[in-house]
A and B are shown apart, each in its own frame.
Chain A
Amino acid sequence: MLVFIVLQEIASMPGHCFAQVEPLKKVNMFSRSDTDKVLFEIVPVFNGKPLQLSKQYYVNEHGDTLYIDVFRFYITNISFTCNRNAINKNSHLFDVADSSTYDFLLKKIPPGHYDGLQFTIGVDSIDNTSGANEGDLDPVKGMYWAWNSGYIMAKLEGHSKVCKTLHQAFEFHIGGYMPPNNTARPVLLKLPASFAILEHDIPCITLKVDIAAWFSGNLDISKINYIVTPGKEANEMADKYVKMISVDTVEYLRCRSQ
């Protein structure tokens, strides 16, 4: 059973649009004309367990108990693949503290069968250097560095007794768009063989995001607990969390016939 929430307006990028990220007002408003849409739902977990901010403890690979306080990341340039590959200019900022960001709708996808879902975790270099952007890329979202220009691709903050830091905090603000430390990561996920965008049905793809991936490779947060600038460490962290997203389920929502 899916729970839908009224989404706040997410402006799309005019000028490049093939697919657009659209504000989702009410799921029941889908009509026959909505056949080119795909709904995404993001489910944040830690080691498969539902994520609860600050209250629930989790244990990482290294065996340390920790709490998650902040978790946000960008999904951009989402496209569906099937032999051909169309990169769509769109961006969505997921914020675990903002339930309105758990769902988003992708529009204008040509109907047909697709075998793969492709996107970037992070923001590409063009958007990193093109000045003040809009919508989810607006620097007002707090995912943009002021003194060293560029987006924070993903942000994870929490606390653990093993961190000998102020408030026992660990802080990972992962960004950087310039080689060799470009932290934008392409992701290609396989879709079920039957996946199709057809008339009357809107596919709802549930993406499971497992934060445990950030701590893979036996990351010792008593030693590495503060990454807030582009560089080698940020790059390595991006290599870890690139594996956090998987396709969990695909359901089809039957559109109301009018």
Chain B
Amino acid sequence: MPFPIKIALPAFLFALILTGSSAFDLQQDELKFVVPQGWPKPVYNFTKNRITADGFKLGRKLFFDPILSRDGSTSCASCHTQWSGFTHVDHSLSHGINGRKGKRNSLTLFNLAWNTSFMWDGGVNNLEVQPLSPITNPMEMDNTLANVVKKLDTSKAYRTRFFLAFGDSAVTGQRVLKAIAQFTVMFESFNSKYDKYVRHEPGGEMSEQELNGLKLFRQNCESCHNEPLFTNNSFQNTGLAVDTELNDMGRMAITHDFHDSLRFKVPSLRNVVNSYPYMHDGRFHTLMQVLDHYTDGIVESPSLAKEFRKPMILTIEDKQDIIAFLQILTDKEFLFDMRFRDYRD
């Protein structure tokens, strides 16, 4: 006989309070890293950092904890929110402590296991050491890894978590970084409508406009934003006028090679509708502005990508179709994946 609702509902709520976040508590089998069919082999070396539920949960806690910043105000999640594909929506440049402003638009975070480098200039060579950049950048968290380790080491809750994740309670820089990597490497996006279309699955039925958009996309964008990752991990100069206040030379700052002047990482276009604004400095707020730039706004310079050396010709209808296609790269299963929420646990 069913419980009267008057009892059942409070009982259910009470049970929810008792179990807290454990309603979504992770089991090891929920943390299977998937290499989707037809995708290349991941670049990240999982053998040196095996993903465990405790390691993942420690990484998740660190990702959402402003303890990483010098004044305890800013967390990774401050500029990387899940529903936007882990970027900072509506903020052209990333923010840091004391309202400081960085010089670049925060990148999306997903499918990181396939990244051959990190940051807009590719200066970071491994997912595990990537968090060092925001942690130490004076415009972002303005901290040191040594300080982070010291702070975490004074927290009994954290030491317990390091014990669970690594077998003893020692807090080290290496472990902080490996734990964060265990969390972020699991941000996988491969269940958009486009993916279902490619896999011939239900829900992958594309409209005529979307199909035409895909055709135009393959003709005009595919050489850099190639499927299935929608990036070829290269650095390109896409003909943007130099912002004379930011004077960002891009990849050249890393390689000192003038050929790399004004070249920036080709970002993935998965979840692109949710991750506005666009380009390394967030100068465009809509995808139409981006496409208008590619057809009408290219600024010539010696390092300009060869693809832009001859004009890209797209009608307004073509652009609308491409945008219709880009919309189906939104992966709601990823953007609302409960494993990546902040549980304050």
* Contact between B254 and A139, CB atoms less than 8 A apart: no
Q: Which of A3-50 contact B (CB under 8 A)?
A: none
Interface residue B77 (Cβ < 8 Å from any Cβ of A): no
Interface residue A179 (Cβ < 8 Å from any Cβ of B): no
The interface size bin for chain B is 20 to 34
Given A131-B49, A147-B119, A139:B129 Cβ within 8 A: yes
Total interface residues on A, CB under 8 Å, equals 20
Interface residue B173 (Cβ < 8 Å from any Cβ of A): yes
* Contact between B178 and A132, CB atoms less than 8 A apart: yes
* Contact between A147 and B177, CB atoms less than 8 A apart: no
Return the chain B residue nearest A178 by Cβ: B255
* Contact between B123 and A149, CB atoms less than 8 A apart: yes
* Contact between A142 and B126, CB atoms less than 8 A apart: no
Consensus secondary structure, chain B interface: helix
Which one, A132, A144, A148, contacts B254 given CB within 8 A?
A: A148
Given A131-B48, A148-B254, A140:B146 Cβ within 8 A: yes
* Contact between A147 and B123, CB atoms less than 8 A apart: yes
* Contact between A149 and B129, CB atoms less than 8 A apart: yes
Tell me the complex Cα distance, A146–B149, Å.
16
Given A147-B119, A147-B123, A148-B123, A140:B173 Cβ within 8 A: yes
Interface residue B45 (Cβ < 8 Å from any Cβ of A): yes
Contact with A along B19-63 (1 / 0, CB 8 A): 000000000000000000000000001001100000000000000
Could you list 14 examples of A-B contacts with CB < 8 Å?
Answer: A130-B126, A131-B127, A132-B174, A134-B172, A139-B174, A140-B145, A141-B146, A141-B173, A142-B144, A146-B129, A147-B119, A147-B133, A148-B123, A149-B126
By a beta-carbon cutoff of 8 Å, the part of chain A in contact with chain B is 128-134, 138-142, 144, 146-150, 229, 231
By a beta-carbon cutoff of 8 Å, the part of chain B in contact with chain A is 45, 48-49, 119, 123-129, 132-133, 135-137, 144-146, 149, 172-174, 177-178, 181, 253-254, 256
